[in-house]
A and B are shown apart, each in its own frame.
Chain A
């Protein structure tokens, strides 16, 4: 891709000498906690996010244990309500939103555009510290009684009636939001100002386009959430009437303000994941992405449309039926840019050179799960059907397919793809594939039954339920065990590789395009010895492989 792409001489592998990398130039605690290196900050995010996933996963297991039987017999009602609230809040604010941008984005975004770092390295570190403060507050809330409003914090239950730690949670959300805003701002400025010479907008990898679109939403939508939770806290603490009709407020206003952020937030979670999938599809089929510009602009189209559909969460709230019409039609239109992505990825495989490596299995899993998540969104967008579906388990299944089946699967795919670059070690390939397979099967076992039980009439957030729903709930709980095992296996494999995995020293173990594969593995602290000059489009696989034998590089 760039002019100075030179393969490492083989002699170096035989007699390893000390190579300075971003990991080994300094081992002190201080060098990690005060680092302004985007790669190290990415690793800090990885550790933090992994910690919160474990907690959120534990909550999920407690929910599935409770729902094994129709009676509420494992947990008290109030405890159960707190557990599902914390599950949602932790997973959304501490994993789904920061996961891809915080970990993968931080690590590869500057590398991909040929930059030394992000535009504001200190601000980047500040984002992580703010994130940690938000996380500590969450732990404080959890340890001192928890919160039971649901992650949606609907008023006036949250503002007046709940006697749990709502104000503290609101402050936590307020603070954590700034971490998203600052990261978003940093990425926007970085992409505008730090691209290497020759890296034009239409030579940007699609992960950058997706991250850019996400950053736009982060910067524009997150402040609205901050305002909303601030108003909520004001009403709760000082009884200023905003949402509770008893003091002159309007609860529907809360729903509007909440979803004005929280629907775009869905795209904050899924857009970067789509960017990861674009990278993986190209790398493992060794082809340029079919219709690059359609895929790039579809990210922006989703980001823009995503701002105009929040009212589809309110079809039965008492909102005007005519407003509902507008929200419904805009919602179904999001199917178009989404379908473009899916079709273009599929078309990319045509005449490709497809390698069934672990990351590619995650791509296939993403296809299956995200497709189901996407088409079931159409059920909910159809207003007449949503009257029955709203707040039942069909919705729960739908958003888990999109968020967990989509975002988490792509996150794991991306993590396995960039892992050798990040740590210079390769995980066990067979274990990696097995984990991907178990995750795919376990995921469907867990969440597919929830579509059916939802249509049958099981409401979400129910501690006890009618006996006819039990069969499907048992199936779902059994699936959760399989799914949990899959995630654990993948995690253990990655951690194992850090010490025992095959050492990777070659720059480009996958034989992929992209500037991140043209620097040392793991990269040197300042990314590139010489500022790369870009002379080609993002996915110049044809130039890389035509005429030559497709060489098995690893």
Chain B
């Protein structure tokens, strides 16, 4: 019977058992609470059903009881909050050695790019046992990338990046579904996640060649003539990019910014929003000239640039 009607989706990530544990705890707790209170109400109604000659009692209330049944639900509620927060933060903080995948949502498909450059539409092939981070955005409206077997989802938002990480634990085929309503074919924005053994994953990769995002990004960097201002040596018009990723830069007009995916993306599309201190606001926007996937490749390239001489951070 349970085979035919499973109560949970397959559990296939390091995150899934943590969600399931909290879920079943709450199922048991809420069953006890619901059945207990409902049974008490039913029992009291029948026990004190209207009878001729029996007048109702006269009770004001009881501060002690009321404080008790405020306090107990309060403590339980805080406990549930703390457990939920602990689980949430596991999903929010990826481990250091992640494989970076890029996902772009679009009405009504998912476009994925692998760290080694392979691209696929809707489906996702990943190796088992490796921590994988998806950096995601959307080309049009809100979407949400959901893999129920991993118990994970995250909205993809036009104009910004969101992240989600997981480590698959069981080879197999699992649903990918768009969870944020996105228009006519919302329910068709689905795919399958194939979790493969590492050697199978290597085989899949070799059957699907492509350029690594940072290699493609380097070509774009040259074709779009970014080099003329950002790699012209001393006195160049734009800031040096080697080694800049992850650092803090001071801005014209005060303030500072951390150089991350989001900031690089913004600087490509809205160059004048946050100009690095010491430079003129002369860069043109590349809005309309580069798509979300290309921006991700440029980001990957800039990320890969090491500082000259390796001396400064």
Contacts and interface: CB of A to CB of B under 8 A. Distances in A.
B78 A332 contact: yes
A294 interface: yes
Nearest to A551: B52
B78 to A, nearest CB: 7
Contact of B77 (A325, A333, A383): A333
A371 B187 contact: no
A321 B92 contact: yes
Given A77-B185, A384-B88, A463-B186, A340 B70 contact: yes
Size category of the binding interface on chain A: 35 or more
B85 A388 contact: no
Interface in A36-89: 72, 77-78, 81
B153 A252 contact: no
Contact of B34 (A286, A293, A372, A466): A372
A368 B153 contact: no
Given A157-B141, A388-B19, A317 B155 contact: yes
B80 A461 contact: no
B245 to A, nearest CB: 21
Contacts of B142: 154, 156-157, 251
A154 B154 CA distance: 16
A384 B37 contact: no
Contacts of B44: 346, 349-350, 352, 354
Contacts, number: 313
A355 B52 CA distance: 11
B30 interface: yes
A9 interface: no
Main secondary structure of the interface of A (DSSP, over half): helix
Interface in A284-298: 285-288, 290-294
A472 B7 CA distance: 11
A144 interface: no
A1 B9 CA distance: 59
Interface residues of B, number: 91
A457 B52 contact: no
Interface stretch (A122-130, A427-435, A539-547): A539-547
B73 A156 contact: no
A339 interface: yes
Given A375-B30, A549-B53, A321 B89 contact: yes
A353 B55 contact: yes
A465 interface: yes
A40 B154 CA distance: 50
A391 interface: yes
Contact of A387 (B29, B40, B49, B152): B152
Given A286-B56, A344-B66, A459-B146, A246 B158 contact: yes
Contacts of A251: 142, 157-159
A351 B56 contact: yes
Contact of B153 (A72, A333, A388): A388
A533 to B, nearest CB: 23
B57 interface: yes
Interface string A305-330: 00000000001111001001100110
Contacts of A149: 181
A162 interface: yes
Contacts of A189: none
Contacts of B154: 316, 318, 387
Contact of B182 (A157, A292, A376, A463): A157
B110 to A, nearest CB: 14
A294 B71 CA distance: 13
Nearest to A314: B155
Nearest to A371: B34
Q: Which of B60, B140, B141 is the most central at the interface, judged by chain A CB atoms within 10 Å of its CB?
A: B141
B155 to A, nearest CB: 5
Contacts of B55: 353, 542, 545-550
A383 B187 CA distance: 25
A372 B151 CA distance: 23
Contacts of A317: 155, 157
A301 to B, nearest CB: 10
B258 interface: no
Interface in B60-109: 60-63, 65-66, 69-70, 73-74, 76-78, 80-81, 83-92, 107
A355 B50 contact: yes
Nearest to B182: A157
B162 interface: yes
A12 B39 CA distance: 44
A202 interface: no
A288 B45 CA distance: 15
B286 interface: no
A387 B184 CA distance: 24
A379 interface: yes
A154 B151 CA distance: 24
B274 interface: no
A500 interface: no
B175 A466 contact: yes
Contacts of A331: 81
Given A154-B142, A318-B155, A387-B88, A371 B160 contact: no
Q: Which of A340, A383, A388, A550 is the most central at the interface, judged by chain B CB atoms within 10 Å of its CB?
A: A388
28 contacts: A154-B180, A251-B158, A285-B48, A287-B58, A294-B61, A325-B85, A332-B81, A333-B74, A336-B70, A339-B69, A343-B65, A353-B51, A364-B45, A372-B34, A375-B29, A378-B30, A384-B19, A384-B22, A384-B88, A384-B91, A385-B22, A388-B153, A452-B7, A461-B187, A464-B188, A541-B56, A550-B53, A550-B54
Interface of B: 4-9, 18-19, 22-23, 26, 29-30, 33-34, 37-38, 40-42, 44-46, 48-63, 65-66, 69-70, 73-74, 76-78, 80-81, 83-92, 107, 140-142, 144, 146, 148-149, 151-155, 157-160, 162, 175, 177-188
Interface of A: 72, 77-78, 81, 148-150, 152, 154, 156-157, 160-162, 244-246, 250-252, 285-288, 290-294, 315-318, 321, 324-325, 328-329, 331-333, 335-336, 339-340, 342-347, 349-356, 360, 364, 367-368, 371-372, 375-376, 378-379, 381-388, 390-392, 452, 455-457, 459-466, 468, 471-472, 541-542, 545-550, 552
Given A315-B88, A317-B157, A333-B77, 7 more contacts: A156-B140, A252-B157, A346-B37, A375-B33, A392-B148, A459-B179, A459-B187
Q: Top 8 nearest A-B pairs by Cβ distance? A: A384-B87, A382-B84, A245-B159, A351-B57, A457-B148, A291-B61, A375-B30, A383-B88
